[in-house]
Amino acid sequence: MGQIDSLIKEYNRKFKESILAKGIAMIPSERIPFSSPRANYMLYGGIPRGRLVEFAGEESSGKTTTALDIVGNAQKLFVREWQEEVDALNELEKPNKTQQERLSYLKARGAKIVLYADCENTLDEDWAKLIGVDVDSMLVMKPMTQTAEQIFEMLLNFIETDEVGLVVIDSLGVMLSAQAYEKTMEEKTYGGIAAALTLFSKKAELSCSKFNCTLIGINQVREDMNSSYGGLTTTGGKGWKHNCSVRLLFKKGAFVDEKGNELKMSAENPVGNLVKMSIVKTKVCKPDRRVGYYTLKYDAGVDVISDIVDLGIALGIVQQSGSWFNFVDLETGEVVVDGDDDVIKVQGRPAVLDLLKENTELKDFIVERINKVIEN
């Protein structure tokens, strides 16, 4: 054994982690999915786990709604993962000591939970339930007089319990640093929470990676006063941006009617709107799907069926010829038929939406093909 091999063994034993190895052992980045297939397509499956993510945008652009959508999906994912691991350990005929300890730990801990830091004190419980959040199992922090530094310290402590799988901060822009909190309105402060957020993001990046916890920081867009040409920037300085693995910019899109058709912004009674998303930064996938959107209905949350149709058309799974639509298996090139071997064909996009709502088998077929494209 050479000196390098000896050092590798020594340091891995010292830190009780495999921090050194020969060759590059890339670990695939796990994802927490969006409900929208279009959003998942952008980021190759959803937001990365164990990383820092920023949702930025102007007011009413869909940041909080998208974060709540992720929360609801994360809760289901954490319960499913916990149950699968417990079942697998229970099925072992002769578990070793490590496996027995792991099973006892999982049973005592339960599934990982979501921590929502509602710094704005504006979390709407009814809307969260509509989006799909189990509010009863979510831990909610509602800071009153706590400074940014105190909030960040509490969040780090929760992450390091290994019992939290997702943290959402809503939002970074309303936090007040200890320096600003102690001064009067007449005294000027500089830097805002940038110093505290930079230190927090450095620590959180390490803790989130170690304990496989995702942190979403919701941020507001501000006018960039340092730019000679105008433009927009976000709260928190450059340190936070650097430590985020993914940064998404949200904008409010066109209003839509009950059939998903776009309306003018002057429409009086829209049933929803498009939420536009663009990738500002990504370190977990190729940046070749930079812009997308999903459909939000005010009475039902994310309109998954509408997004399935739109993305199916874009990928060629749903094929359009004039006003007629049919469905194709991309792997075989065969057109989908019904039980009587007749080609499934409908006229008009609204008819496609109605068909997929009724025919769950066809909907699942399209979703399965979409997921294969996303994964590849």
Q: 331-361, pLDDT tens digit by residue?
A: 888 999 888 888 999 999 999 999 999 999 9
What is the rounded CA–CA span in Å between residue 190 and residue 330? Answer: 56
Nearest partner of 349 among 296, 315, 308, 289, judged by Cα: 308
Nearest partner of 168 among 207, 116, 107, judged by Cα: 116
Q: Can you list the residues of the chain whose pLDDT is less than 50?
A: none
CB 117 within 8 A of CB 170: yes
> What CATH number labels 36-302?
3.40.50.300
**pLDDT value for 243:** 96
**pLDDT value for 8:** 83
What is the rounded CA–CA span in Å between residue 117 and residue 109? Answer: 21
What is the rounded CA–CA span in Å between residue 146 and residue 211? Answer: 25
Q: Does domain 303-376 have CATH number 3.30.428.10?
A: no
Identify the three-state secondary structure at position 355. helix
Boundaries of every domain in the chain: 36-302, 303-376
**pLDDT value for 338:** 86
Residue 105 exposed, middle or buried by CB count within 10 Å (0-12, 13-18, 19+): exposed
Q: 221 φ, ψ to 5°?
A: -90, 135
Residue whose entry in the numeric block shows the structure tokens 């922090």:
141
**pLDDT value for 337:** 87
CB 45 within 8 A of CB 27: no
Name the maximum alpha-carbon separation found in the chain.
Answer: 79
What is the rounded CA–CA span in Å between residue 105 and residue 200? Answer: 29
Structural element, H or E, at residue 108: helix 97-109
Identify the three-state secondary structure at position 199. helix
Q: 33 φ, ψ to 5°?
A: -80, 155
**pLDDT value for 70:** 98
What is the rounded CA–CA span in Å between residue 114 and residue 137? Answer: 8
**pLDDT value for 14:** 86
Cα–Cα distance list, 55 to 59, 237, 245 (Å) = 12, 15, 12
What is the rounded CA–CA span in Å between residue 265 and residue 273? Answer: 10
